Structure 1
Amino acid sequence: MPREIVPKIAIVFWFAASVACLDTPEFQRNLPAKVIWGVLGKDVELPCDITPPIPSDNFKMVFWFKDTDGMPLYSLDARGGPLGEASHLAMSDDLGSRSYFIKDEQPSKARLRIRNVTIHDEGVFRCRVDFDNSPTRNFQVNLTLVVQPSAPRIFNAEGNEIKRNSSAGPFLEGDELFLSCQVTGGRPRPSLTWWHNNTLIDGVVDSSETSFTIVNQLTRRHTPRSFWKSHLECRASSSAIAGDVVRVVPIVVLLKPNKVKIVTPNDLLSIHKPQNVKCETSGSYPPAKLTWLLDGKPIRNAVVTEEVTDSFTGSIISLNVVADNDGKDLVCRANNPRFPGGSLEDRRQIHVAYPPKVSVKLDSGVNSPVKEGTDVTLRCDSSARPSPYGYRWYHDGHLVALNESGGVLPIDHILTLKSIQKKSQGQYACFATNTEGGSYSSPFDLIIQYAPRCKKGYEVMRVGIVKHEPLVVQCHVDSIPEDVRFSWTYNTSKGVFPVLGAKMHNNGGVSTLHFNPSTEDIDSLSCWATNDVGKQEQPCLFYIIPAETPESPRHCILRNASHGGLEVACVAGADGGLHQSFVLEVNDVTIPSPPPGVTTLSDQGEAKLLYRALGDKPMFRLHSLHPGREYQIMVYAENAKGRSEPPVLLPSVRVEAEIPADTLHETDTTTRPGSEGYPSSRQNLTVILVALTAAAVLLIVGIVATAVTIACRKTPAAARRQTTRRKSSDDLEMSEAGFSEGFQRRSAQYRASMYGLQETEDRISRLIDGPDLILAPVSFSQQNSEY
């Protein structure tokens, strides 16, 4: 017989003989049972307190039984020695071999460890403890296996299940988040919790104790930003020793931008070049879109460069500004297109450098138009950044220089005019400059009100008087306002007397007096005018002289007209004190061819008067002359006293080419010999004046263009010498940009004077006012003669 079997047999017989009466079923049912939970496949420890009831007593033996089996599955024998040397005996091949009794330093914590618990291990275990002197003790343990619940299922707020490998959401940052986790079964009743980053965020079960389905609803009133790119865990567990059944669900959280900044320094912007401005935003998911606004309006057609990552967006705009953008708000707005209302913006007030925008204003307290003699202050108002550092003033296109004695004081943006006179009237402009450039203002019309004065050329006149005939005199005055009142006086050797009872007709600045002198002792007439400003200081004088016949015209020339025919132009002589008109008579003096066999003793043909023309000026155009014939032209003047003697005679006049018969000569009236009245040449005069004016303008343009070309071809050295001799044209001449047509015309005249063209303009003026300077064409015929 093997030696190891002997102790077992001895123990069995000892156990059967001594304690058989204590292991009856009745005894076991009355023992209290402590429930111990075990997990399938894991170790479990069943407690057994081996502390002696009496301190002096000693532990002797321990027996472990399962269910109603009368034979122990495991025993510990400490008879005959200390507890540490006790022998362990497993009575069962399976359960006993996987069991081992652990003697703790504290006897109350002694326990039986069962390794790798199986489903068959579940049941009621009893621990029997024998002592040397004390009664035997029994402890009953109910080993129950833990049953885990089902895998958790997760549902959203709409009740839809979130499948595995799917995400929950999207949720908006700051908005409500709701998820529901559900499990079924489990023993004991399982716990159900929500976790984020291993932190418990909800451990409250929302179902009843008797419900087979266990639910935990996760509700967050404000979805935190920390949930972005993370996941939530629903953990279910029936026992801590069994671990957790876990369902992980990724969540999608949409974030609004939490930062946006225009990072480029807020420097002064120039209108002359684009400026790059950068804006950055972060914190948005998906990445935010950056938009630019200026003065509340989106910036369009601008070059924009973007840089985008998962949570960062950068935008660089090439900003082209104008002067009107100064002081406006530049806004960089970050917007998450998937996040309603998820926008954030940064704004700054931009400052734009631009050339001055100037205008001329009349100083407050003075009304326009201004009365003569008043002190006037003109102010050059400017809007510019940076502020202007230089100003210039112009009057009718000419630079205004400082003249303290004359009362002209241009100081920076203020122009003071002391005791202004009529000559101060005109268009004023100012020029302001800063680092961005310079600008001219629009012209300001300064209108000056002044008392009447005689119109130029009408200050002193000689008037012829015819005995027993009324005297007709016209007085021309110049004034602002033009509404004037006239009065007349006459001067005799006895004094000055008002003109009474005469017929006077006033029309604007002209007063026509029909006067019948009551005495022959009249030296002169005086015309006085008054307006709201005051009375005329010096009267317009009309010296009374006996009327005479006019002088004959002089310096008459004959030439081809530009549109066919011939032109006759003379210089008028003295009018004899009365209004004079001019008469041209044309006679056909062609010698007729004698018939065959007939001879004549005369070498002159009989003159035949063709027509007579009358004009206010001694200028006439002839269109009715035939080529191959010979004419005699006579010109004279006449007034109420008679005609001039002798008349000017132009003999032997011929035309070279055929003149269209349907072309009309420009006269007022044409008469043939024997008819009444005189021919008129007013239409002739109008056409001539228009043609001469056009020729004069073309001449000025040609001369100015030639002068400019010559000036541009100067060598640099010559240009420098020119600069040292006089001021530059920029200082003397103002740009015409933005000026009215009248201002440009005066500027052109000023340039003509700068290039030595004053003589040319005087000549043109004389061409228009008098016929003695009519210029003959270069291709003038041999009949061009002066008489």
Structure 2
Amino acid sequence: LRSENFLESILHEPMTTVETSFHTNSFRANTEHVRQPRSKSAILPTALHLKAKKDPGITERSTKRAEKQVDPNEEFKNSPIHPSVAVSGEAAVLPCNITSSIQGDNIHLVLWYRDFVPTPIYSYDVRKGLYSRPKEWADPDLLDNRAHFSVATNPAALVINSTSKNDQAVYRCRVDFRHHITTHARVNLTIIEPITSVTIEDDNGVELVGAAGPYALGSTPSLSCKVVGGDPPPYITWWKNGHMFDQAYSHQQQNTGGGSQTKTQVSRITLDPLGKADLRTKYTCRGGNHEKAPVLEAVVEIDMNFGPENVTVRGLSGPVSTSRVHQVICEARGSRPPAILTWFLDGNIVKSVSHITSLDGQVSSSTLELALQPEDEGTILTCRAENPELPAAVIEHSQTLQILYPPRVRVRIGISLDLRSIKEGDDVYFDCVINARPTANKINWAVNGENLVQNRSSGVIMVGKSLVLQKVGRNQAGGYSCSATNSQGHNTSSAVVLNVEYSPVCRVEQSDVYGVGRLERTTVTCRVEADPPATTYRWAFNNTGEFVDIPESHYVIKTGGELGQRSDLRYSPVSDLDYGTLLCWARNRVGTQRVPCTFTVFPAGKPDTVASCKAVNQTEESVAVVCEPGYSGGVNQSFLLQAWDDGSLTATDRSDFPMLETTGLRPGTRYNLRVYAENSMGRSQPYSFNAFTLTDVAERRTAIGTGEEGQPLSPVIGSVVGASISLALLILVGFFVARCKRHDGHEAHSNLRETALEEPSYKSCSASEGDVGQPRARAVPGVSSSPKATTSLSDDEIDTQIVPTCDLVSTSQAPACLG
């Protein structure tokens, strides 16, 4: 269809049908034009165009001859012409009316011509009938396969796809009908070349994409819009936030460099001084050249930098307390980009705990946690806001801190006093130094942690923040502290230790009665309290007949340790005249002890028999016994339990307390139990009674100190009796301990023995502390006593007279050994 042969077939094919239908003149004129073979001059432009692809060596002469040809369509220049516009690259529609005014008439052939082209460039042939497929042909050089004839539209039209500027021309449509005369119609096709790009540049010629700036407040920037390409020449408009921009602007035309003929249109505007309201203002440049061509645009948004407008600090409306952590918030508004916030405390940077920026970037906040101290009173807290892009845009908010804090307290001794040389009888005064905000409303004094109460009669006077102790005594020594209270809390000072120096006095808790047998050696201990410690001691002996100073060689001085300050005297009575009172004086640098310590020495004897012994816990193999002790004989005593079975000693137990237990017994057996009290002077008479061991776990038997066999008890009675005995045991233990702490003076051995029977003691309360817990037995002089001395004693104890060697002779008839 698109070959040259097809074109020739259209021009030379017989037109029989047309000849019978058309008017003669018209038919002849038209058929002659159609049928007339194209002369070489008429078809030269087309031939040259076709051959140019095949033979680039066409002579210059032939080309010039072709350029001189007159448009063969000139004769139709007065025929009607219809405009048609198409955008380059899109389809062009060239209308052609193929409707006949004769009823039942149809088209045979449609031919399209173009200016300066003598031969058709497109044909639509339906001469074989309406029901046959039409033959279409297009010039392969001008239209190729881009064109087709549409009869479905009204009017019909030649559609040219993918148009370009080369397709712009005047086209002629020739229509041959079956009956109607041939018609001609011209179409002027205009090809619009749209613009290729629109860009916005700043003052420096830098293309702006999306944003312009950032600009400072008050600046007047310029924007240039460049529109490239477009035929016809484009128009340019400026828009501000979607509204036509009415400010005057200038245009200029530029040609791109090199051999390109592409033209550029430039429009330039200068903005008024910018304010904060211009932030994010959108400026749009639009370019277009025809209503059918696309309108291109470029949009930029004004970006600006400006410093913070103000800085505020919240959370410090007044004085702040040190009792808790305070959150202080600094806010800076109006800065772009967001302000950087920095905290300073007296010029030193303080690290914040959080930094937050609002979504719009206009508000920056920083949170600081302050744990203040009283030393922070009067310091300056500063929050600084600065824009990183504008170094000069810095503002600050400062505030002087007022601190509320609990009292800070310390005790100060009087200026003229020296704590190292306070003696009994001196006047002492203290000051409570208080640093508090608000002022303390309550002040208390304490000594050794106990509140001190004013007592003027005792010389304790409190005036304001001062404490006065008149004629201070040794009992007032200790750690003195003061405490103060205000609305923020309560604090107590560290204690200032007041040492009151005093001459020695007897220590209260010490043995002052010693029971000693003749020629028996004992140690009498004199304990004193003194500050500073005692350095010298003096001992003397006094009875109804004489007063004797004891030489220093017979006593020693010991200081420190758990036993404190003391002097130990070695003493051994020889005759009755050596029993009496020992006196002890101590001395330190303050003075000599005014009242001596006195110790009574009386003859010692055997302990008394225990009483009220009971079996309190019986099992299959053991029996526990508790007794009430008798008089100790003036020295330490211990206790012995023996279990006899048919005259045989089966088990024993010893203890410093009258609570004993025998083990290893046979179940279900009756035993005779004997309890003895022993001391260094001998053994008491036994307390004897019977008790049973149980035959099984369920049986409970008890033998109460009647000396007779115990009787089995019912479970209920056994429980009651057991509870009663346990309670009695606890009471006895407490009673024994309490009795041990009592110290009774005795003028004679008989009186002491009589008193001991009424108030027995199971521990050697009258012995020195060095002998506590050790059972005493008679010893050979020069040999230390041992518990084994008592274990060898039989039931019928025989006293053995042991005469020690004396090294001190008293003023009595018989010598008294002191060491």
| Band the TM-score falls in, shorter-chain normalisation | 0.3 to 0.5
TM-score (norm 1): 0.45
TM-score (norm 2): 0.43
Larger Rg: 2
